[in-house]
Chains A and B, each alone.
Chain A
Amino acid sequence: MKNKPSLAVNIGGLKMNNPVMTASGTFGFGKEYAPYLDLNRLGAIVVKGTTLKPKAGNKVPRIAETPAGMLNAVGLENPGVDYFLAHEMPFLKQHDVPVVVNIAGNSAADYAELAARLDREEGIAALEVNISCPNVKQGGIAFGTQCSMAQDVIGAVRKVTQLPLIAKLSPNVTSIVEIAKSVEEAGADAVSLINTLLGMSIDAKTRKPRLANIVGGLSGPAVKPVALRMVWQVAGAIDIPIIGMGGIMTAEDAVEFLIAGASAVAVGTANFVNPHATMDIVNGIEQYLEEEGMKDIHELIGSLQI
């Protein structure tokens, strides 16, 4: 029998059996999707964005469908880090899958305090630092649109933890390449991109916005070309690995991100449409490698033919 191709990747110290992760905020804390797939077969689970204190989130409607996409303005609703550790982490620990905690805060000090708290906990494989949430007034995106602020946050977190640090970048910037370079310099081990694109939807009949927050983050197949372009540009500018995301629905989409230079991918909105999308994508990538005669996924990563 032929040997299966190797799908294993190492994202700045985060070792995964395959490159398929879940995008933060689209997969809850894992348990929500447990009836539909074997969580152990994921490359990693990235849990819902977590803050020091519980966060109520925005008013409804928080979601609006758009052509081949959706807008969300959930506003980082989460039960806080203490609740997460007490009530959500035990379930995740029963599984043999790396857990990545996405963290958000209102100040660099907040991020650092949260990172220090999580650094002490068993079973956390990496931290994804969310400097790109478009749906909260303070923090989030404010840190991700200016290089100096992004550096402050990543630098502060870097000081308090040895865990692999992934900086999640916003596409709502003049140059994502500059932001990527500055977080690399500040000590990030990897970057993930893209977070959602800031957008808006209006009901012409009522002349009202379709989201209570008026604006929200666009995701889904509609954003894929933008995400691919950004991954490709950033891949040419930094040395740390990239987790590519934005509208990945199928294995072919994921393969495109790997070709553009991503070392791993995250699946987000697709989970809502097809609850076992991640599994289909893992299987599909493996099949693609076999068909192309590749023994290792690294033969595919960054293999764009120009």
Chain B
Amino acid sequence: MSQQMQARILFNEQVGPDVFRMVVEAPEIAKEVKSGQFFHVRCGAEYDPLLRRPISIHQYRSKTGELFFLYQVKGKGTALLSQMRPGEYVDLMGPLGNGFSLKKGNGLYVLVGGGIGIAPLLSVAQDIKKQGFEIVTLLGAQSRSHVYVEDDFRLYSDQIFIWTVDGSSGLKGLVTHMLPEVIRTCNINQILTCGPHGMLKEVAQQAMAANIPCQVSLEEKMGCGVGACLSCACSIKVPEDSAFTYKKVCVDGPVFEAEEVIWDEE
């Protein structure tokens, strides 16, 4: 069950121009977490910034009780988080959200990550590898300097392809360019993806067109993280007589099946 705790920081290191990896000690929680879940992190003790920041689980190690977070400094909150030092304590609420659920089959898994959206996919890659399945990983970034934790992904991926928008590392273009070929040539159990909305939409549409199960991890501005404030609504296909038009990214997600999301809404 989700709880609020003070977790001791073991590492908080910069791995990209604006990306950090934080490792905390949370032995009880590390046993319970699921890939794709997130923690709601308080980045400072003051009232500005006021709200917590949802940060997904990048890796967890049940044996050592460690939780890894990979986060991008985007504003005041994450900037404060990046200044925290090993030995200090960080206020966490979680684990929250549903997490990925792997669809069984005799094929392989395709991971598609863009930008900081690659964060939760490493944890899934570990899960998949533990079960002995093959993984094809496609990672997209703006440029060479924005390609980080690539080696960690190589550990678990049978094939990995890096795409950069400017071509400064790996292949040039958007990561989704490669997906049609992967879909055509591989026997795929499931596609798991996280990244910018446009990328998710493209991945989801390709997967749906090919009838391949696909789970997407969505992001939305959040308040409470527990389903109380209804800030993080996402449009979902629901029966007409349903009492709900939206689902909550925090508790109903952040992971959704590609086909339940309404992609075309502005």
Contact = CB atoms under 8 A, between A and B. Distances in A.
Interface string B201-231: 0000000000000000000111111111111
Interface string B172-212: 00000000000000000000000000000000000000000
A231 to B, nearest CB: 20
A54 interface: yes
A271 B246 CA distance: 23
A272 B48 contact: no
Interface in B227-266: 227-234, 242-246, 251, 266
Interface residues of B, number: 34
Nearest to B222: A63
A35 interface: yes
Main secondary structure of the interface of A (DSSP, over half): loop
B260 to A, nearest CB: 17
Q: Which of the listed residues B42, B52, B226, B242 has the most CB atoms from chain A within 10 Å of its own CB?
A: B226
Interface in A5-55: 25-28, 32-33, 35-36, 48, 54
B51 interface: yes
Given A77-B233, A220-B50, A28 B243 contact: no
Main secondary structure of the interface of B (DSSP, over half): loop
Interface string B38-78: 00001000011111100000000000000000000000000
A28 B227 contact: yes
Contacts of A226: none
Contacts of B30: none
Contacts of B246: 56-57, 77
A65 B47 contact: no
A80 interface: yes
Contacts of B251: 32
Given A35-B1, A54-B243, A269-B50, A70 B223 contact: yes
A57 B246 CA distance: 8
A26 B229 contact: yes
Contact of A272 (B2, B47, B51, B234): B51
A90 interface: no
A35 B50 contact: no
Contact of B223 (A35, A59, A72): A72
Contacts, number: 110
A284 to B, nearest CB: 17
Nearest to A212: B266
Contacts of B50: 65, 68-70, 220-221, 269, 273
* Size category, A interface: 35 or more
B52 A273 contact: yes
Contacts of A62: 221, 230-233
Contacts of A82: 243
A32 B231 contact: no
Contact of A60 (B1, B221, B242, B244): B221
Contacts of B49: 65
Nearest to B47: A68
Given A68-B47, A72-B229, A273-B51, A60 B223 contact: no
Contacts of B131: none
Interface string A64-103: 1101111010100101101100000000000000000000
B226 to A, nearest CB: 5
B83 interface: no
5 contacts: A32-B224, A32-B228, A60-B220, A63-B229, A221-B47
Interface of A: 25-28, 32-33, 35-36, 48, 54, 56-57, 59-65, 67-70, 72, 74, 77, 79-80, 82-83, 220-221, 249, 269, 271-276
The 8 closest A-B pairs by CB, nearest first: A28-B228, A79-B243, A56-B245, A63-B231, A68-B47, A32-B228, A54-B243, A83-B243
